[in-house]
A and B are shown apart, each in its own frame.
Chain A
């Protein structure tokens, strides 16, 4: 085993990131966090996270931009809002997670190239942009294509059963006048 020198120099931190986090809607009170750990202990997924929500909040507030944006934590958040509801300082942790996810997408920083959740999020968004609705079967296939074909094969028996029962259809789902949603999304993007 090798020993690593572990020290963070102030020069490696990004003070603008600290400032930015406090402007994320819900992040206004992030400075008040007193690190009690309620968010981590109430979180049903924190046991799988590489950085616990409490630490993530502290790191975001301290300007650990690289570590925060490349963490699995922000992607594992299932938006159950337990942390936001229970936080004794009323910090909207879930909202901050969303803000961090958006920032990560904008900056193209992900925990790994094959990490499924951001890929799924992107595929989902693209599909909705195109058709106004998501077709689950196609979403699964496109996700598997980009992440792991092997896992698709593993899940094939379940998929076949669902297909036979009429619960899974490959028919493309779409809304009427789908160009309207594109117009809306474009208008939104132009506004940013």
Chain B
């Protein structure tokens, strides 16, 4: 044992007043200590930590040559640092020291004096064994970065920032909201002096903004924190505010045009703000922000990304002209789409969660009907390139329009005598009047598009010629060839293909399909054919479909209309053959049941054996689908085809296998809806434009087209309001081709549009950018990440108020006129939603007001603690309400807490003014009146505990003085900064009395209410203290690191790297040359994870060497 030199141990047993001495027999312990090996001297003293106590140790080191010291007293957390310093002063290495905790671990927690004494002996024996092995260690020191980051821009953060910045140090002030100011900015007056909150706060806010040493990062959040005291590396995410802070002048023109109203968070939802907003007029920075959750679901899911929320919001405001202009930005055929679009937007409408989707196409139609003399924009420049479009259906028209807008010369070749493709030929006039199509196409022609009718490409002009004469070709010939049932009897007279039938009638022929007509199929064409048959002289029309109603692909609204008109449906029947001789007289079917889902996801119909039956008829229309007529093009130049006879194209660009030839719409996808055909046309136009400009056709195009909504909103509490039905003509009149739906009136349209929840916030209408003179608005702004190096961090993230909905008997959000204290702050504030008028929901002034203290506080079911500020702000309300409304005010308190400077005097003043103070916790607030004096009032039921009677007090307004809680994300913030939370969720200070602004993580300090409920004076005082701590650290310039770091014995390390992955501080790296792990001592925090994990025992830690620990255990066991 001589290896460690001549060890002389001194043992010092502390009485700690009576804390230890009352339980532990000190004398016995000292006598025992003297018997231990290597112990030279054992002493006792009343307070070892006091100056004379310390001197004892110093003296023994000097005079007796003591070179190991054991102090048996309190916790090392309390005084380890003190005694190490003593050793240093005495001329010894400070780490030749060990502390035996005989207070927290012994005298305080042991009931028997005998046992306490025994335990003290065991602990000292252990310490004596251990301290023998202690090594002389040196503290490392590292320089401190003088920058400080402050998280949270409330009054605490502001105060701390200014203090540090005024001392000449750089401050990063990070605030999550668009403006600094925090809760205090919402207040009107502050207790007890009643000075105006904004008068004392806003000068500080502007000082922050203009201070050269403060970098203000609003609308930003801390993403990650790395490093250690003196040297933190912080990642900060600056959220996109879609407004350039440097350009915005804060003029506010944008809010004048913004159509979106959102309940103002700053006004606690009592007033409205726009989607582009600044929280309050004195906001710092004086910059606007756009609230944008993402693209509205309706817009996201639309192939054309029509800005549906935008035009709906404008319609709701009566701004029809603006709405039209928004519609025309993305859609040159709006009056057609408003009638026949399959509206995928409606199925994702957020309103579905409440009741029914908004009638989006109906509203679009309303605008185009009302302002029907609109024109499409003309191209701004002309280009010489010529483009041929084959087919004038929606896809061809869209492509032609998009290319024409870019200045190209576009010619559309149409085989039929009328333009419009399936719009004209397939969709009946009672849904889409011919005049509407003509008007839309003429508008397109007026932009300079040439349409050549009766020109069948393949017959009148070859595709080859077309390709030669034009710079690019877009093929959009649709899918016009009927599919057949392929069952016996299909050639009988009286059997029509659905498209053939519709085409003939739509092109003006007069055909009667029969008196009793069967329609086979369940798609939109089936419904169109059936309704057309009804209008062409048929008396009885039945749609026969082989699956059930749920699997029908047809639009549900159209199905309902067809039913109203008297069309019958026959489900679960599959056709077997046609009956008749020459002309069809009936049809044989077999019943089906639903089997397993097929590739379309719908359940497959399975025939039920021996269930054949016959339906009589004299006409049948078969609408079971179409395919493209690629044969009609004759010479196809070698264009590749799929097995379904559709063109093969690149899905991203729509280019075919021949450069310069593009194809899209039904002839590529098979039969599909109008909006997808238009989308293909638009996509092809973008490709052609890039093709002709020799740009990369594929770059950045993955995001075109519909996508799933990116967000969901909470619709709780939205009142149910069903869709406004669009007026239609009477059923009796539906035997002609008169349009069925007559469209909304302006009043109806505005009412329907008002149902829109504006779920995305900003609706992407971009009207604000049209009025912004500074050109500060940038819709493409993205979140950015910033990295800063700081030496210390002050957390001042504040609090949240208790949600009184958790106490239903107080009626918050159930009874009107029950307010929270924050709401009242806004009502009282002259810059608030009522301009400082304290009024009830009906606009009247209250004659009596009840203020309930301790809501959510001092209650085992919610928060056990007292929130400290509620009594005083409730008294402040009592004063302000009496002053402004002369109402009778009742305060219901449990105990009055008026402990601050001038607070008790303020309480006196309120009593003097005549407020009624009732001692008792309110049981309930109700509107059930027991007699006429309570009628129409809110009745507060409470026991007046000082009088000893239950009282019912009728009032007009109830104010709930809600308590303060930790912020809901305190847990995440705690992890981020590696600090602790107390049970209530507030951040934990290092010591409640002696280190109230420090945390257990060096270099991280706390200020304000994030550490516990606090009023403004206390928050500001704490902010000053936190700033002083940070400055002290900076001024010292270096931090000393504990030498309890780990290291790795190179010879023993096998290079398994287990420790590298486990180290929570990323302090271990792998030296690939030596095949060993290496600990960076500066980063090591001495947690010991690597030591316990190392399979070969190569990882070791100073102050926790194996021999030290084993000796300690041995020592404990000697007793």
Give A contacts to B, CB under 8 Å.
Answer: 34-38, 40-42, 46-47, 52, 54-55, 86-90
Shortest 7 CB-CB distances between A and B: which pairs? A37-B943, A41-B923, A36-B921, A88-B859, A40-B943, A42-B923, A37-B920
Whole-angstrom distance from the CB of B845 to the nearest CB of chain A? 28
11 CB contacts below 8 A, A to B, read A34-B894, A36-B945, A40-B943, A40-B945, A41-B922, A41-B923, A46-B950, A88-B860, A89-B860, A90-B860, A90-B861
In the bound complex, residues from chain B placing their C-beta under 8 Å from that of A89 are 860
| B942 CB–A CB distance under 8 Å | yes
Interface residues in B933-947 by Cβ distance below 8 A to A read 941-945
In the bound complex, residues from chain B placing their C-beta under 8 Å from that of A46 are 943, 950
Whole-angstrom distance from the CB of A23 to the nearest CB of chain B? 21
How far is it, in angstroms, between the C-alpha of A61 and the C-alpha of B560 when the chains are bound? 73
| B895 CB–A CB distance under 8 Å | yes
| B690 CB–A CB distance under 8 Å | no
How far is it, in angstroms, between the C-alpha of A81 and the C-alpha of B860 when the chains are bound? 17
> B944: nearest residue on chain A (CB-CB)?
A37
Q: B910-950 toward A: CB 8 Å interface, digit per residue (1/0)?
A: 00000000011111100000000000000001111100101
How far is it, in angstroms, between the C-alpha of A46 and the C-alpha of B859 when the chains are bound? 22
Would A55 and B860 be within 8 Å (CB), given that A41-B943, A86-B923 are in contact? Answer: no
Tally A-B pairs: CB < 8 A.
53
Q: Is the interface of B mostly helix, strand, loop or mixed?
A: loop
In the bound complex, residues from chain A placing their C-beta under 8 Å from that of B858 are 34, 88
Would A88 and B943 be within 8 Å (CB), given that A37-B920, A46-B950 are in contact? Answer: no
Interface residues in B877-923 by Cβ distance below 8 A to A read 894-895, 919-923
Known: A37-B945, A88-B858. 13 other contacts (CB 8 A): A34-B858, A34-B895, A35-B945, A37-B921, A38-B943, A41-B920, A41-B921, A41-B924, A46-B943, A47-B950, A52-B950, A88-B859, A88-B861
In the bound complex, residues from chain A placing their C-beta under 8 Å from that of B944 are 37
How far is it, in angstroms, between the C-alpha of A17 and the C-alpha of B942 when the chains are bound? 29
In the bound complex, residues from chain A placing their C-beta under 8 Å from that of B923 are 38, 41-42, 86
How far is it, in angstroms, between the C-alpha of A75 and the C-alpha of B944 when the chains are bound? 23
In the bound complex, residues from chain A placing their C-beta under 8 Å from that of B941 are 41-42
How far is it, in angstroms, between the C-alpha of A46 and the C-alpha of B944 when the chains are bound? 13
Give B contacts to A, CB under 8 Å.
Answer: 809, 858-861, 894-895, 919-924, 941-945, 948, 950
How far is it, in angstroms, between the C-alpha of A37 and the C-alpha of B921 when the chains are bound? 6
Whole-angstrom distance from the CB of B62 to the nearest CB of chain A? 55
How far is it, in angstroms, between the C-alpha of A90 and the C-alpha of B859 when the chains are bound? 8
Partner of B924, one of A36, A42, A47, A88: A42
Chain B CB within 10 Å, residue with most, of A35, A41, A46, A54: A41
In the bound complex, residues from chain A placing their C-beta under 8 Å from that of B922 are 41
How far is it, in angstroms, between the C-alpha of A41 and the C-alpha of B894 when the chains are bound? 13
Whole-angstrom distance from the CB of A95 to the nearest CB of chain B? 16
Instruction: Please state if B860 and A52 are interface contacts (CB–CB under 8 Å).
Output: no
How far is it, in angstroms, between the C-alpha of A38 and the C-alpha of B858 when the chains are bound? 13
Instruction: Please state if B860 and A41 are interface contacts (CB–CB under 8 Å).
Output: no
In the bound complex, residues from chain A placing their C-beta under 8 Å from that of B895 are 34
How far is it, in angstroms, between the C-alpha of A46 and the C-alpha of B920 when the chains are bound? 15
In the bound complex, residues from chain B placing their C-beta under 8 Å from that of A86 are 809, 923
Whole-angstrom distance from the CB of A46 to the nearest CB of chain B? 6
> A51: nearest residue on chain B (CB-CB)?
B948
Would A54 and B860 be within 8 Å (CB), given that A37-B921, A41-B923 are in contact? Answer: no
In the bound complex, residues from chain A placing their C-beta under 8 Å from that of B809 are 86
Whole-angstrom distance from the CB of B1031 to the nearest CB of chain A? 43
Instruction: Please state if B942 and A41 are interface contacts (CB–CB under 8 Å).
Output: yes
Would A36 and B860 be within 8 Å (CB), given that A41-B941, A41-B942, A55-B948 are in contact? Answer: no
In the bound complex, residues from chain A placing their C-beta under 8 Å from that of B950 are 40-41, 46-47, 52
How far is it, in angstroms, between the C-alpha of A17 and the C-alpha of B123 when the chains are bound? 45
> B894: nearest residue on chain A (CB-CB)?
A36
In the bound complex, residues from chain A placing their C-beta under 8 Å from that of B894 are 34, 36
> A38: nearest residue on chain B (CB-CB)?
B921
How far is it, in angstroms, between the C-alpha of A89 and the C-alpha of B861 when the chains are bound? 8
Chain A CB within 10 Å, residue with most, of B861, B921, B922, B942: B921
Whole-angstrom distance from the CB of B963 to the nearest CB of chain A? 12
Whole-angstrom distance from the CB of A28 to the nearest CB of chain B? 13
Whole-angstrom distance from the CB of A13 to the nearest CB of chain B? 20
How far is it, in angstroms, between the C-alpha of A87 and the C-alpha of B860 when the chains are bound? 8
How far is it, in angstroms, between the C-alpha of A46 and the C-alpha of B809 when the chains are bound? 18
In the bound complex, residues from chain A placing their C-beta under 8 Å from that of B861 are 88, 90
How far is it, in angstroms, between the C-alpha of A187 and the C-alpha of B964 when the chains are bound? 54
In the bound complex, residues from chain A placing their C-beta under 8 Å from that of B920 are 36-37, 41
Chain B CB within 10 Å, residue with most, of A35, A36, A46, A52: A36
How far is it, in angstroms, between the C-alpha of A34 and the C-alpha of B943 when the chains are bound? 13
How far is it, in angstroms, between the C-alpha of A37 and the C-alpha of B922 when the chains are bound? 8
How far is it, in angstroms, between the C-alpha of A170 and the C-alpha of B367 when the chains are bound? 80
In the bound complex, residues from chain B placing their C-beta under 8 Å from that of A37 are 919-921, 942-945
In the bound complex, residues from chain B placing their C-beta under 8 Å from that of A36 are 894, 920-921, 945
How far is it, in angstroms, between the C-alpha of A34 and the C-alpha of B941 when the chains are bound? 19
How far is it, in angstroms, between the C-alpha of A37 and the C-alpha of B894 when the chains are bound? 9
How far is it, in angstroms, between the C-alpha of A52 and the C-alpha of B947 when the chains are bound? 11
Instruction: Please state if B859 and A54 are interface contacts (CB–CB under 8 Å).
Output: no
Instruction: Please state if A52 and B943 are interface contacts (CB–CB under 8 Å).
Output: yes
How far is it, in angstroms, between the C-alpha of A46 and the C-alpha of B952 when the chains are bound? 13
In the bound complex, residues from chain A placing their C-beta under 8 Å from that of B860 are 87-90
How far is it, in angstroms, between the C-alpha of A40 and the C-alpha of B921 when the chains are bound? 10
Chain A CB within 10 Å, residue with most, of B860, B919, B941: B860
In the bound complex, residues from chain B placing their C-beta under 8 Å from that of A47 are 950
How far is it, in angstroms, between the C-alpha of A176 and the C-alpha of B366 when the chains are bound? 79
How far is it, in angstroms, between the C-alpha of A89 and the C-alpha of B944 when the chains are bound? 18
How far is it, in angstroms, between the C-alpha of A87 and the C-alpha of B861 when the chains are bound? 9
In the bound complex, residues from chain B placing their C-beta under 8 Å from that of A35 are 945
How far is it, in angstroms, between the C-alpha of A42 and the C-alpha of B952 when the chains are bound? 12
Would A54 and B945 be within 8 Å (CB), given that A88-B860, A90-B860 are in contact? Answer: yes
In the bound complex, residues from chain B placing their C-beta under 8 Å from that of A54 are 943, 945
In the bound complex, residues from chain A placing their C-beta under 8 Å from that of B945 are 35-37, 40, 54
How far is it, in angstroms, between the C-alpha of A86 and the C-alpha of B922 when the chains are bound? 11
In the bound complex, residues from chain A placing their C-beta under 8 Å from that of B919 are 37
How far is it, in angstroms, between the C-alpha of A114 and the C-alpha of B919 when the chains are bound? 37
> B922: nearest residue on chain A (CB-CB)?
A41
> A83: nearest residue on chain B (CB-CB)?
B923
In the bound complex, residues from chain B placing their C-beta under 8 Å from that of A55 are 948
Instruction: Please state if B948 and A52 are interface contacts (CB–CB under 8 Å).
Output: yes
Whole-angstrom distance from the CB of A40 to the nearest CB of chain B? 4
In the bound complex, residues from chain B placing their C-beta under 8 Å from that of A34 are 858, 894-895
Whole-angstrom distance from the CB of B644 to the nearest CB of chain A? 68
How far is it, in angstroms, between the C-alpha of A88 and the C-alpha of B963 when the chains are bound? 14
How far is it, in angstroms, between the C-alpha of A87 and the C-alpha of B862 when the chains are bound? 11
Whole-angstrom distance from the CB of B424 to the nearest CB of chain A? 71
In the bound complex, residues from chain B placing their C-beta under 8 Å from that of A52 are 943, 948, 950
Whole-angstrom distance from the CB of A37 to the nearest CB of chain B? 3
In the bound complex, residues from chain B placing their C-beta under 8 Å from that of A87 are 860
How far is it, in angstroms, between the C-alpha of A88 and the C-alpha of B894 when the chains are bound? 11
How far is it, in angstroms, between the C-alpha of A57 and the C-alpha of B103 when the chains are bound? 39
How far is it, in angstroms, between the C-alpha of A124 and the C-alpha of B100 when the chains are bound? 66
